[in-house]
């Protein structure tokens, strides 16, 4: 079965509706604790009620959310997902008094409450985090006022999904051989590599990006809403910038972001060297951004999902037995939706909720890329399994910052395995190219997008009007610097900012792909070299959940992301891989 079995939550939406109503009916119960959190029993009972509510939320939310992602064109299912978000917003409004009141009680008293009762001990670290952030927690009245704007936070996501997917019509492109192909944002990446004709590639690319060009002003206004929401929040809470507001809560030094941004920006020479190498061996007069999908070999190997899964299992079989067990469990039947479908959300993700097996969304197209995506998402789900088994609900949820370490670690394992099994020149080229492209996509490209977010937020901070011209200019300049490519010569590419859903859904997310790639490379290198306790420390990190600040968790795993050398090591590996590739190509 290559689709999700959501019956672990409910058999139908009628059952779901009963729990949604139960959830809503209990929201008002929180009001009785207001003004009494200085009393131990009231504090404890508030926490127990919150846990009870979260347990219900962890059923009603994923059932609607996952069902909606299977068909974003289904307005009825989408409305049920919105219904959950509205109840969640109502809960946030009803509990907005908690943080300011707890802070008014005082850290010493609250932490004493947490040590007094076994049920409350897991809340020690969350309470310490809260008190560390107390300068950004407002008065009860102001917290309640801000919470009233909660429903607006999901509007940009809904608008973006409607524009990019819900109202999208697929484009039909007539190729040079007379055949026609239907193009959408889910399949164009797998079609481009097989097109040898440059005009065909151009037409397919333009078809995929047509929606972003035609709706550039609408997308710009949606993104402006994202930026203005962030600005309103960081200003209201007393942060200096949107970036600081996104990092400080998890104690991530601003230097981590800026070190990453600066290392990538200052080391684009190997990127341009790689592009020139590709251009030469592909026989291209002009190199376009969509030519990155062209392969340097003619090996057209297909990887059906079951074969890809077995390949991944073979790659990890010599690792720690507990690690292997959880990676295999991550891909259990009923928890992976494999194939692309009309209306299905594009891309891939792992979605986990405490008390339930995590779910994986794929759009498997049988390419080598899709094999790596499988391993990537399995890493996320295995991380969730490790964390949920080791930690209580209060501190099981790990941060995005460490999430991508587990996924990209798996990619390194898979890459080395495939390369070790390669017997022909073509196979070796293919896997080295995949590794290089991984650094291009995960380290450089994601850092470019993170830099884009940083500069886009600066527009708002400086009071510069946000429109499609300003947003596109930032992207044009970055692509010229990183790749020495003028994207204005590719019809639609300057609107690539509208193509990246993370910018709209989860601001300041993408830089963590790059930090995690650097961390996982360090951890994997130590494991591969047989460094004492390297694998044990990595598993220890996977089990930490949210019990520590994420930079400290990465250090437990063996990676120091406060050190610029951790990022510079990625550049060294990149140059070494290009050397290898050039040698094989010229042999």
pLDDT in tens, 266-325: 999 999 999 999 999 999 999 999 999 998 987 678 899 999 999 999 999 999 999 999
Which whole-number Å values give the CA distances from 236 to 211, 230, 239, 461, in the listed order?
Answer: 35, 10, 8, 14
- What's the pLDDT at 14? 96
Give burial (CB, 10 Å; 0-12/13-18/19+) of 496: buried
Which whole-number Å values give the CA distances from 412 to 195, 294, 409, in the listed order?
Answer: 29, 22, 5
Whether residue 185 is predicted with pLDDT greater than 80 in this model: the reply is no
- pLDDT tens digits for range 360-377: 999 999 988 899 999 999
Confidence of residue 422 (pLDDT cuts 50, 70, 90): confident
Asked if 43 contacts 117 with a C-beta cutoff of 8 angstroms, the reply is: no
Once rounded to an integer, what is the mean pLDDT over residues 420-439? 90
Whether residue 141 is predicted with pLDDT greater than 90 in this model: the reply is no
- What's the pLDDT at 169? 80
Confidence of residue 587 (pLDDT cuts 50, 70, 90): confident
- What's the pLDDT at 469? 97
d(CA 101, CA 140): 7
Whether residue 151 is predicted with pLDDT greater than 80 in this model: the reply is no
Our CA angle for 257, 262, 267, nearest 5°, is 135
List 361's β-bridge partners, or say none.
337, 349
Mean pLDDT (the chain) is: 93
Which whole-number Å values give the CA distances from 3 to 63, 336, 352, in the listed order?
Answer: 14, 6, 16
Sequence-separated contacts (24+) of 148-152 with Cβ below 8 Å: 148/93, 149/232, 150/89, 150/92, 150/93, 151/85, 151/86, 151/89, 152/229
| Token couple for 403 | 């999430």
- What's the pLDDT at 155? 82
Our CA angle for 440, 518, 346, nearest 5°, is 55
d(CA 292, CA 439): 13
- Where along the chain do its domains lie? 6-148
Confidence of residue 156 (pLDDT cuts 50, 70, 90): confident
Q: Which residues make Cβ contacts (< 8 Å) with residue 285, sequence separation at least 6?
A: none
d(CA 360, CA 338): 8
Whether residue 152 is predicted with pLDDT greater than 90 in this model: the reply is no
Do strands 336-337 and 180-183 pair parallel, antiparallel, or not at all (unpaired)? unpaired
- What's the pLDDT at 154? 75
* Residue corresponding to tokens 């990595």: 538
Tell me the three state secondary structure of residue 336: strand
Whether residue 35 is predicted with pLDDT greater than 90 in this model: the reply is yes
Whether residue 543 is predicted with pLDDT greater than 90 in this model: the reply is yes
d(CA 316, CA 564): 30
pTM above 0.85, yes or no: no
- What's the pLDDT at 111? 97
H-helix or E-strand containing 171?
A: strand 171-174
- What's the pLDDT at 51? 97
| Token couple for 116 | 């007094």
Once rounded to an integer, what is the mean pLDDT over residues 441-460? 96
d(CA 549, CA 252): 8
Domain 6-148 has CATH 1.20.140.70: yes
| Token couple for 267 | 């080391």
């Amino acid at each position: 079965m290559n689709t999700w079995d959501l019956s672990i939550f409910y058999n139908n939406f009628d059952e779901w509706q009963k729990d949604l109503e139960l959830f809503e009916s209990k929201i008002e119960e929180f009001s009785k604790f207001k003004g009494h959190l200085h009393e131990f029993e009231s504090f404890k009972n508030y926490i127990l009620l919150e846990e009870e509510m979260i347990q219900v939320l962890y059923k009603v939310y994923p059932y609607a959310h996952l069902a909606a992602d299977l068909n974003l064109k289904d307005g009825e299912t989408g409305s049920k997902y919105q219904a959950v978000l509205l109840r969640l917003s109502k809960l946030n409004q009803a509990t907005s008094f908690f943080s300011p009141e707890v802070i008014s009680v005082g850290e010493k008293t609250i932490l004493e409450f947490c040590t007094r009762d076994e049920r409350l001990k897991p809340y020690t670290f969350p309470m310490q985090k809260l008190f560390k952030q107390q300068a950004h927690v407002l008065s009860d009245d102001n917290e309640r006022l801000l919470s009233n704007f909660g429903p607006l936070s999901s509007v940009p996501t809904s608008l973006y999904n409607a524009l990019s997917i819900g109202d999208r019509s697929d484009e039909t492109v007539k190729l040079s051989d007379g055949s026609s192909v239907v193009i959408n944002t889910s399949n164009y990446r797998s079609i481009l590599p097989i097109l040898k004709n440059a005009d065909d590639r151009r037409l397919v690319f333009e078809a995929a990006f047509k929606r972003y060009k035609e709706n550039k002003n609408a997308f710009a206004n949606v993104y402006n809403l994202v930026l203005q929401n962030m600005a309103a929040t960081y200003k209201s809470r007393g942060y200096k910038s949107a970036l600081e507001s996104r990092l400080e809560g998890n104690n991530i030094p601003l230097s981590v972001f800026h070190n990453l941004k600066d290392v990538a920006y200052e080391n684009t020479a190997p990127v341009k060297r790689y592009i020139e190498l590709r251009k030469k061996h592909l026989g291209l007069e002009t190199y376009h951004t969509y030519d990155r999908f062209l392969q340097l070999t003619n090996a057209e190997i297909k990887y059906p999902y079951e074969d890809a899964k077995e390949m991944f299992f073979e790659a990890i079989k010599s690792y720690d037995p507990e690690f292997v067990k959880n990676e295999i469990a991550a891909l259990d039947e009923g928890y992976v939706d494999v194939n692309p479908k009309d209306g299905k959300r594009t891309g891939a993700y792992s979605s986990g909720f405490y008390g339930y097996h995590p779910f994986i969304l794929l759009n498997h197209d049988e390419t080598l890329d899709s094999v790596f995506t499988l391993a990537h998402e399995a890493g996320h789900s295995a991380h969730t399994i490790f964390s949920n088994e080791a930690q209580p609900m209060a501190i099981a949820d790990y941060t995005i910052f460490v999430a991508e370490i587990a996924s990209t670690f798996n990619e390194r394992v898979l890459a080395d395995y495939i390369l070790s099994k390669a017997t022909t020149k073509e196979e070796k080229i293919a896997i080295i190219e995949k590794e290089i492209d991984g650094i291009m996509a995960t380290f450089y490209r994601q850092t470019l997008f993170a830099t884009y977010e940083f500069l886009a937020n600066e527009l708002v901070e400086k009071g510069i009007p946000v429109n499609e011209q300003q947003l596109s200019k930032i992207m044009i300049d970055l692509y010229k610097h990183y790749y020495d490519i003028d994207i204005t010569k590719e019809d639609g590419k300057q609107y690539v900012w509208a193509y990246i859903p993370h910018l709209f859904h989860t601001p300041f997310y993408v830089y963590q792909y790059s930090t995690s790639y650097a961390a996982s490379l360090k951890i994997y290198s130590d494991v591969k070299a047989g460094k004492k306790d390297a694998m044990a420390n990595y598993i220890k990190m996977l089990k930490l959940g949210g019990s520590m600040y994420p930079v400290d968790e990465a250090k437990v795993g063996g990676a120091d992301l406060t050190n610029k050398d951790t990022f510079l090591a990625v550049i060294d590996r990149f140059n070494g891989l290009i050397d290898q590739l050039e040698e094989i190509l010229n042999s």
